[in-house]
Structure 1
């Protein structure tokens, strides 16, 4: 069954970042939310004063546990939102009481159904009782909702005493491209919403703790990593630094996923069929950026990621390619009309490049950034993504602000490590190590280890790999790929 025709207009109207900033600094009255009474010992005693500037609606809760060790049971997270992003053996911190605020900013799109609100621009802010003075903000990977980072990122930073804030980016789900009026609007909103949340969370901290945060760090994976890059390029004044976990690369002249995913869709069926043309097809996949040695991951990614990702992001940035059809035809045969396997970005009208340029990265970061990327990532191949971004940062003259660690054996989602523990390694423990390195960099000026490839430890058991990652291992990165 073919998708329904795309609407003529998108419901969300873009606001300038300045308008978001103003909204975030203004107090908008919100209805008081039901919450447990204060225990009288100071725990949640300031609940009534905790208001998020600019929020259209919020609900505040006093919790004995802000990590997933408690929020799963209390209903203050959604495990489906973070399913598949971490390995099963990743340690789960606990023992973090405090306040959680769930709410949303004004928006007209309705893709996020959390809490039965059917309202986008949802956020979560968590304020631990034992606060270390810092704030961590995050955007979500993929097209997930605001709880997507709870296991991979929030648990750890909350256990270290940070306040934590995350946003759904203003639109969610596989039909995110319906939001906005023009090509690129939905992705551009992601950047504005994280800026908006950062400003609002910083103001909320002042109201809750009666003093400003001493440092604000930004982090995220995949699309969330893209947001980290964009924020440090465009709003470095809001942050002290960031950790980019395999961020998506957008630049008008490529490479982007609109370049390498069509090549995968074209060549993989030939490779999978075997026969005389299989070797040439495998070579075509390697040439497109999918690394040698990653072949065991190709069947899963072809079935789950490549086709869907190509179609929905192409629809967001180039809806005219398939005319009235919405997001193409799944697993179409090359040669059929408007088949995404035949998509040729370079041949598309200039308007398509203009849409990509609106969300493009430059490499001109203004605060310290640590980038992590797995060498066996076959959704965003490292040679077409973070290797390129590292060069962009260096060419922009910002190399002193960047550290780049290529994680040998890492792939795009850590849950695949559970299926291939003898061939892969998870990135979550590397993110934890990188975050600690960023803390020291920001606090003392001590720079992390030089950029390099982090080798996969020999004979390490899965439980150890799930929870340890040393970034100061022997550098062995090829000079052409090193920042």
Structure 2
């Protein structure tokens, strides 16, 4: 192995926190506030979330993480490592928060001490702009995972916000169901369920239905946006897909590009005469040239874990080494399990996709480049815009470790979201699909503050 570099040591502590949040149930948050809101929130006590098995309602002076961390209405472990350290936190968003769960048989989510999956959060700001944003979580995280990257910002813009843990969490998610693929299929069903319930709650609370419902999410959450706009476009006005996972039964998918990384990276890292060929094999598998500085982190914390968890979910009968996993040779029933939750590109509402060119968990050439072609091939290209963000990687928390090489995606997501708003309600078409070049002269503060798509 190469000796650890200074950058490697810098992100080691971050990686440990990120891995814990990805694979383990987050530490229980304190109970969700007062049982009987009074004053301006008195009416909220009568709100009922359709289908919920349990809910708790709180009247809060601050719905963003500027207040919810202290009040116990979020859990920082859920969103650890997903955003840059210096991302500003908006303030001044009072309103109502509803925490609860839908009936479910799995128990991996320990937030609030409930030990119950299908947990959700719904936030209703006092100053409402008429819209609703819904989201599923990245990785196998719990319902507060999007609070820093997405919820804070959309709440400050006046949106109601709802998020789900997708119905199963942590490293225990494989096998949640009766058949291979059931756990991931539940992710889709739970976001549909929450969207319908949140729309009803919004209509009851504000005395009118939302004028627009937008879906957005990161990674697995981005996959959910794609799937929802393909399968339930009637529920949404549009969406923003932040590096969504691509599932296709005939590939590419996680099982076609993760095993080569597990197989070739150790040879590359060992050095010697075979290292060059191993590096070339990594590039051929989709890991872009210039991303080598990110490979040690992902080999240690992501590639093997991601391959194993999803292989256990879709192909529990496999007994060989994951580095030798051959997707094309797996039995038809394994391919059918993926086909159940696969994407088609047949979106029914406007969708903006963004993806970093240095993503080495979901290499852009094997993921969003392919999905953009799928959308075009399905005849839905007019509904889609695709922005390749130069210097972006899968986890924005890594920007702090490599500020001279990476750019955060969170400001690009915000620019894309605003462009979707203009498209839907002002008739202003977003910029054409393109690669958004990273200005080499821009300092980290500038890159964090802005990401023009034009």
TM-score (norm 1): 0.87
Alignment check: 8 A CA contact 2:356 2:364 kept = yes
Name the counterpart of 1:371: 353
Name the counterpart of 2:403: 421
User: Match of 2:386, SS?
Assistant: strand
Runs of at least 4 residues off by over 4 Å: none
Alignment check: 8 A CA contact 1:126 1:163 kept = yes
**Greater helix percent: which structure?**
2
* 1:51 Cα deviation from its structure 2 partner: 1.1
Superposed, 1:137-216 pairs within 5 Å as 137-216=134-213
Name the counterpart of 1:53: 50
Alignment check: 8 A CA contact 1:62 1:100 kept = yes
Superposed, 1:323-472 pairs within 5 Å as 338-472=320-454
* 1:33 Cα deviation from its structure 2 partner: 8.7
5+ residue gaps, structure 2, are: 1-31
- Residue by residue over 1:416-452, the C-alpha shift from the partner in whole angstroms, topping out at 9 and shown as x without a partner, is 0000000000000000100000011111221100000
1:238 and 1:316 map into 2 onto residues whose CA distance is: 28
- In the alignment, is residue 302 of structure 1 matched against residue 284 of structure 2? no
- Residue by residue over 1:343-394, the C-alpha shift from the partner in whole angstroms, topping out at 9 and shown as x without a partner, is 0000010001000000100000000000000000000000000000000000
Paired residues, number: 423
Alignment check: 8 A CA contact 1:88 1:415 kept = yes
5+ residue gaps, structure 1, are: 1-31, 323-337, 473-483
Give 1:63's match in structure 2, choosing from 48, 53, 60.
Answer: 60
Name the counterpart of 1:226: 223
2:207 and 2:179 map into 1 onto residues whose CA distance is: 42
1:458 and 1:339 map into 2 onto residues whose CA distance is: 41
Alignment check: 8 A CA contact 1:249 1:256 kept = yes
* 1:34 Cα deviation from its structure 2 partner: 4.2
Alignment check: 8 A CA contact 1:100 1:125 kept = yes
User: Match of 1:244, SS?
Assistant: strand
Superposed, 1:286-297 pairs within 5 Å as 286-297=283-294
Alignment check: 8 A CA contact 2:411 2:448 kept = yes
2:33 and 2:453 map into 1 onto residues whose CA distance is: 44
- In the alignment, is residue 112 of structure 1 matched against residue 94 of structure 2? no
1:206 and 1:300 map into 2 onto residues whose CA distance is: 45
